[in-house]
Amino acid sequence: MKKQLLLSALACMSLAASAQVSLVSPRPQEVSGEGAVTALDGKTLTVVQGVVGDKAVKKYAKLVPQQAEGYYLSIGADGKAVLVGRDAQGLFYAQQTLRQITGKDSVQTCTIKDWPDVAWRGVVEGFYGRPWSHEHRLRQLDFYGRQKMNVYIYGPKDDPYHRRFWRKPYPADEAARIKELVEKAKENHVKFYWAIHPGVDIKWTTEDRDLLVEKLERMYDLGVRAFAVFFDDISGEGAKADKQAELLNYVDEHFVKAKGDVSPLVLCPTEYNRSWANDRGGYLRTLGKELNAGIEVMWTGNSVVHCIDKESMEWINERIQRKAYIWWNFPVNDFVRDHILLGPAYGNGLDIAPLVSGFVSNPMQYAETSKISLYNIADYTWNMKAYDYESSWERSLVDIVKNPELTAEEDRAAKALRTFATYNEDLGPNGHGFRREESRHLAPIARLATEGNPEAIRQLAAEMDHLAAACNTLLTTRQNPWLTEELRPWVIQTKYIAEYGQRICHMALQSTDFEEDYYAARDLSRIMYDLEGQPGMLHEYQTGIKSATLVLMPTLNKLFAYTVNEYNREQGTHYDAVVEYQPFSLSSDVPQLAQLTYSYQGGQLKVNPVNEVVNWPAGKALVIECDREVTLGGMDFNLGTPDVAGNFSLVATNAAGKQQAISLLHYKAGEQVIHTGGEISGMKCKTMTLTNTSGKDLTVYFRNFRSEMK
């Protein structure tokens, strides 16, 4: 490559507002010779760039790291930049780094030698719920390129041509969109993997095998050059390890190797985590023994949602006889749809790079919001030993609201987003038991405030003012409309929480009229509850709007109770000290159902799903208890398995203890949704019990549960 001016060499790249090596993300492996940030004073930064083997950069070849995708970058005080990649990918990444350390009119001298720790780094769109839009996917691929992520696996569970209609070709319009995504991925040096999910109804026949290969051929014609086969979240015939290995080997030998330009196959196995692994059954060892070398095997860790450490990697790698390809289920929230996850990515070992072949994140259906955590994951997988999740998270919040034309507004929006995000990190109680820290800055004052400490309450009041102002900023910011749209329900809810907290702090400090603040707090509590039922507030599949559930809301509710009780004691009044409204409780002796959460709005009770295979032992039950006797309407639930209604009983118990059986049925053969008989309408109920009465352990799912009641 010839010497070029920055303007032409990097024409497609936006320049950073300020030039600073410390802001480069992912963190480079080696940085030396850092000088001061100096003004270009109208001069043009001259760029010499190429890959190893190019004549223009021959004298720099020995300085380039040996690793694939590595690069060498040097910026001198003479206004000259040298970029040399080990390969085309490395040169592209050198350009991304130069973009970050070159300001509009300034530059910082430095020398960087850089390469990735993990070979495959990126994202698997593998969640349940509304798949990302085409526009969001295009934006994602641009983001991956900037953050040096090199793989995107297309596998949304609710794409029918990925899973349910896997044998059928895409309609022409959808095929055209996939072709455009493939081209966008190439522009950003991202490998576009298309995944097929045949396990729900596959027949181990030559016909089905050939239909699968035919589907891959159709995707190949669209430009796809990388493929994955998913057998996750299934049971029955499709879950046989030997048959899966036989199919993958056939595809590997008769399609992948025959084409010559297709990347290694990726398999998501049925036993994709340690808690499900049946060593005695030998599923994983069968894959390890029979799968062709070079076929990647995905793994989520010790459970479905779990952080990855060295011991767990050694455990799985020994069984599959290769390095596992990590599918990390974070920040995915398809099992806690009432929460949105804005916290940093942490908890994974910083010493596992030599033990993994790839590391991809399963994000939320909220594509733009997911970039906060994905920024961290890009940082982590590129340079593990230097990864600091707190500083990476701080940079991610600035990155997502960048707009070079509105620097002051950008700063306001980033600060507001940080304040809001600290209250939306934890997942709340969930069936996987996976939790995150939240509101860490409140810990020193939370306990003192609930005990009536005036100074702690004043600090809490100031924080509520700060939180309310941040929410106002996020509701009016022009920085990132994609992000604003996704966050809006939670921002509005958090604004109400801040106002709720303000009123409670006023009560506790006796700074205003107690009775006015008391009723205002109770009104706000009801408004927050009702918000979840307002038309247009819930995104598709969403079951509620929960925010600040780990620290702030419990602190405010305790402070409310403490303040009201103290006031009643001093004034001889009888104000109700309970403000939080929880009309139902769920319990189960089926471990995977024991921590389910729910929402109740508009006369409908909805239970959050379990997006995995559920082992429901004989005689075990799910129990829903109401705080009062309710009148039932219709009910339906989906156990993800056809024709299983006869294996369960549903019993309603009224306030007097009288039990009534409710018939369960399918409207047609092969249906997965279970409906209730007409006798349920008008039935009085305080407790509902759904029991496995088949006399045997059942393998099912828990896709959804909906009941009408008043």
Tokens 């959808």 belong to 174
Spatial separation of the C-alpha atoms in residues 117 and 100, rounded to whole Å:
20
**Full DSSP string of 446-481:** HHHHHTT-HHHHHHHHHHHHHHHHHHHHHHH--S-H
Tokens 């921590």 belong to 595
Q: What letter would DSSP give residue 568?
A: H
The DSSP bridge pattern shows strands 684-692 and 621-638 to be antiparallel
Q: What letter would DSSP give residue 704?
A: E
- Across the chain, which has 710 residues, the per-10-residue mean pLDDT values are 39 52 93 84 85 96 98 91 97 95 82 98 95 97 98 95 95 98 98 97 97 98 98 91 98 98 98 92 97 98 97 98 98 94 98 98 97 98 97 95 64 94 95 92 93 96 98 92 95 98 96 93 92 78 89 96 96 88 84 82 80 88 92 90 93 94 92 92 94 94 86
Buried/exposed 240-260: b ≥16 CB within 10 Å, e otherwise:
bbebbbebbebbbeebbeeee
**Is 69:116 a contact under the CB 8 Å cutoff?**
yes
Predicted pLDDT at 407:
63
CA 258 to chain centre: 36
Spatial separation of the C-alpha atoms in residues 281 and 320, rounded to whole Å:
14
Spatial separation of the C-alpha atoms in residues 315 and 423, rounded to whole Å:
36
Q: How many CB atoms lie within 10 A of CB 454?
A: 12
> Is residue 65 classed as helix, strand or coil in its secondary structure?
coil
Predicted pLDDT at 398:
92
Q: Which residues contact 186 (CB under 8 A, 6 or more apart)?
A: 192
Predicted pLDDT at 113:
98
CA 186 to chain centre: 24
Q: CA quadruple 75, 81, 84, 85: dihedral positive or negative?
A: positive
Spatial separation of the C-alpha atoms in residues 540 and 132, rounded to whole Å:
12
SS (H, E, C) 163-229: CCCCCCCCCHHHHHHHHHHHHHHHHCCCEEEEEECCCCCCCCCHHHHHHHHHHHHHHHHCCCCCEEE
Q: Which residues contact 572 (CB under 8 A, 6 or more apart)?
A: none
* Long-range Cβ contacts of 395-401 (<8 Å, 24+ apart): 395/23, 395/25, 396/344, 396/371, 396/372, 397/372, 397/421, 399/25, 399/371, 399/375, 400/368, 400/371, 400/372, 400/375, 400/480, 400/483, 401/477, 401/479, 401/480, 401/483
Tokens 């860490």 belong to 440
**497 phi and psi, to 5 degrees?**
-60, -45
Question: Which one is catalytic: 233, 252, 334, 399?
Answer: 233
* Long-range Cβ contacts of 33-38 (<8 Å, 24+ apart): 33/74, 33/109, 33/110, 33/111, 34/108, 34/109, 34/110, 35/77, 35/108, 35/109, 35/110, 36/108, 36/109, 37/103, 37/106, 37/107, 37/108, 38/77, 38/106, 38/107, 38/108, 38/109
Q: 475 exposed, middle or buried (CB, 10 Å; 0-12, 13-18, 19+)?
A: middle
**Is 111:154 a contact under the CB 8 Å cutoff?**
no
3-state helix vs strand vs coil in the chain, percent to 5? 40, 20, 40
Predicted pLDDT at 522:
95
In the numeric block, which tokens belong to residue 523?
A: 């009104």
Predicted pLDDT at 581:
65
Spatial separation of the C-alpha atoms in residues 707 and 633, rounded to whole Å:
7
In the numeric block, which tokens belong to residue 54?
A: 């190019």
Spatial separation of the C-alpha atoms in residues 287 and 67, rounded to whole Å:
29
> Is residue 664 classed as helix, strand or coil in its secondary structure?
strand
Predicted pLDDT at 7:
34
- Which stretches does DSSP call E strand in 86-190? 106-108, 110-114, 120-125, 151-154
Predicted pLDDT at 578:
81
Spatial separation of the C-alpha atoms in residues 591 and 598, rounded to whole Å:
17
Spatial separation of the C-alpha atoms in residues 571 and 78, rounded to whole Å:
78
Query: What ranges in 572-692 are assigned the alpha helix state H?
Result: none
Active site (annotated) includes residue 208 = no
Q: At what angle do helices 552-571 and 443-450 cross, to 10 degrees?
A: 20
**Is 460:552 a contact under the CB 8 Å cutoff?**
no
Q: What letter would DSSP give residue 128?
A: S
Query: What ranges in 385-435 are assigned the alpha helix state H?
Result: 389-399, 407-421
**Is 17:407 a contact under the CB 8 Å cutoff?**
yes
The DSSP bridge pattern shows strands 106-108 and 37-39 to be antiparallel
Spatial separation of the C-alpha atoms in residues 251 and 228, rounded to whole Å:
11
Question: How far apart, in Å, are the Cα atoms of 8 and each of 39, 46, 102, 132, 206?
Answer: 20, 10, 15, 33, 54
End-to-end C-alpha distance for the chain, whole angstroms: 73
